[in-house]
Amino acid sequence: MDAARYLVDYLIFPGFLFTAVVGLLTTWVDRKVTARIHWRVGPPWYQPFADTVKLLGKEVIVPAGARKTGFLLMPIVGLAAATLASTILWKANLDPGNSFIGDSIVVLYIMTIPAIAMILGASASGNPLAILGGAREMKLLFAYELPLVIAMLTTVYKAESFSFENILRMQADSGQFLGSFSGTLAFIVAIFCAQAKCSLLPFDIAEAETELAGGAHIEYSGAPYAVVRLNMAIMLFIVPVFIVTMFWGGFTFVGWKILTSILKYVAVIVIMVLIKNTNPRVRIDQAVRFFWGPMLVLSIIALILAVLGY
């Protein structure tokens, strides 16, 4: 019975089906806001779904020099990891009693698997541009993970726990962490790290369409490419949810708090889209210096302020 319930949680709600639908809708919000900034109309709400269905029906082409198993398997591994992270995160928000010790750390590192899968898939393709894109993604991953972990530790220190349950309870009792000096600094660091984790400008260095013609994704087509796009949509959904959970009190679906929960999520998405549309792409060396320089210093300051009680 428990196995069946866990399977339903993972495949339907709050797992794959729910995550995929909301993730695709989030990409529509991204495209729509981007279009309005550019004084365009933008696509209809169903366009991301239509694109996914269209890709699923197209021919799958595997490069002659590719390692076929790794090339085709890695997008599925990334999708499974992103779905698992979303399931754990949403179950903790819907019912904090479902939380377990250390689940915030578990989710944080499960969210790195899609990037690792992309690196391995690009390496297995045999295409030099894809391999270069994968190498850039690996450097970027090493760059933003450290300040993101330290920023997260500011909340963990305040809550004295790695459990989402205690983190959410602390914010419910003592106020949202974003309202403190340390929380504000950590939130800023998390937003920029999320920008890189979701492969959005100015950190879409691994794809760089005008430079690498898609980079790590260049050889994917048909259903595998649909899975790659779906991975990106899901990450654009769950990374802001993770930020809201850690720094902004999480999500509450009771009464008027339903609206405030949705608005918090939309606010984070809009901030990320605005950053994306107001900054040019940076080089990989500039990105590494940015995350190991200002962002690392800012995250350490946030942690020190949290220890001092600010």
Determine the residue type at 192: F
| For residue 46, pLDDT beyond 90 | yes
* pLDDT tens digits along 237-294: 999 999 999 999 999 887 788 899 999 999 999 999 999 999 999 999 999 999 999 9
| Residue 132: predicted pLDDT | 92
| For residue 65, pLDDT beyond 90 | no
How many Cβ atoms sit within 10 Å of the Cβ of residue 161? Answer: 18
* pLDDT tens digits along 200-229: 999 999 988 777 777 888 999 999 999 999
Phi, psi of 205 (to 5 degrees): -70, -30
SS3 39: coil
How confident is the prediction for the chain on average, in pLDDT?
92
Q: What average pLDDT score do residues 83-87 get?
A: 95
Task: Report the 3 state secondary structure along 195-212.
Answer: HHHCCCCCCCCCCCHHHH
| Residue 1: predicted pLDDT | 54
| Residue 138: predicted pLDDT | 95
Structure tokens at 134: 């994968």
| Residue 225: predicted pLDDT | 95
| For residue 141, pLDDT beyond 90 | yes
Provide the angle, in degrees to the nearest 10, between the axes of the packed helices 222-247 and 47-56: 140
Q: What average pLDDT score do residues 97-120 get?
A: 93
